[in-house]
Amino acid sequence: MTDSRTAAALRALHRPGDPLILPNAWDAGSARAVAAAGFPAVATSSAAVAESLGHADGETTPVDEMLDAVARVVRSVPVPVTADLERGYGLRPAELVDRLLATGAAGLNLEDSDPRTGELCDADEQAGLLAAVRAAAGPDLVVNARVDVFLRATGDHAAAFDEAIRRARRYRAAGADCVYPILLADPELIRRFVAAVDVPVNVLLRAGTPVVAELARLGVARVSLGSGVYAAARQRAAAMLAALAAGGDPFAG
């Protein structure tokens, strides 16, 4: 079981201008590697966990398997763990909180689009979900509210900006500790987003995103790598296997 002290320690790591860096893990081994590298917290990636368990992303992983994976990560490291739980796997908020707290996790991500259809959820409906999670958890979980407007946008990110701000403010009012406008990458839009919301902001670090030092200057409080480390590990493994199958040196390069 987690407690409010672990969640408070995780919450305190969200410092605008000095962001918490989270190279997301997918199992006990990768979580240990993150902690051994000196990172003060571990996050899971739902996509990476799902694929490592033989499932696809998008809430196709049975909830028991996902929570068991989170529990293994928690047991493997001495630092706070926050879990990517997509949109909650259909659990009622109180049950979701109880079962997550039983793993020992100190935080969670919840996204505001339907993982199965890709459609954005109604903002008020999502705010109600976040408020119910906050009511059930009290201070014992750090709630990171993912804002999927830029992920689902079909045009210019600038056109989606006002809606993303509206959702972020609504989720903050519902009790979110942090908001996560996933795929927002333009430096000026990140700066404006941070300035417009009274809550720590999480940015996904990927190709095309400003480097960590620049994100810090923009006031970002949390930086995630999503499934990036897992994808890189898979790519490296595939290259080694291809070299081996071709009779070459799998350790070259």
Q: How distant, in Å, are the alpha carbons of 104, 192, 205 from that of 226?
A: 21, 23, 8
Q: What is the pLDDT of residues 192-240, one digit of tens each?
A: 999 999 999 999 999 999 999 999 999 999 999 999 999 999 999 999 9
Amino acid in position 212: V
pLDDT-derived band at 152 (thresholds 50, 70, 90) equals confident
| pLDDT at residue 245, rounded to an integer | 97
At 89, phi and psi to the nearest 5?
Answer: 55, 30
68 — phi, psi (to 5°)? -65, -40
Cβ-proximal residues to 161 (8 Å cutoff; 6+ apart), any chain: 189, 192, 193
pLDDT tens-digit profile of 36-62?
A: 999 999 999 999 999 999 999 999 999
Percent of the chain at pLDDT exceeding 90: 92
How many residues can be counted in the chain?
253
Provide the greatest CA pair distance for the chain.
Answer: 59
- The sheet with strand 20-22 has its strands ordered as 20-22, 222-224, 202-204
- Round to whole Å and give the CA distance between 106 and 11: 9
pLDDT in tens, 52-88: 999 999 999 999 999 999 999 999 999 999 999 999 9
| Confidence bin at 153 (pLDDT 50/70/90) | confident
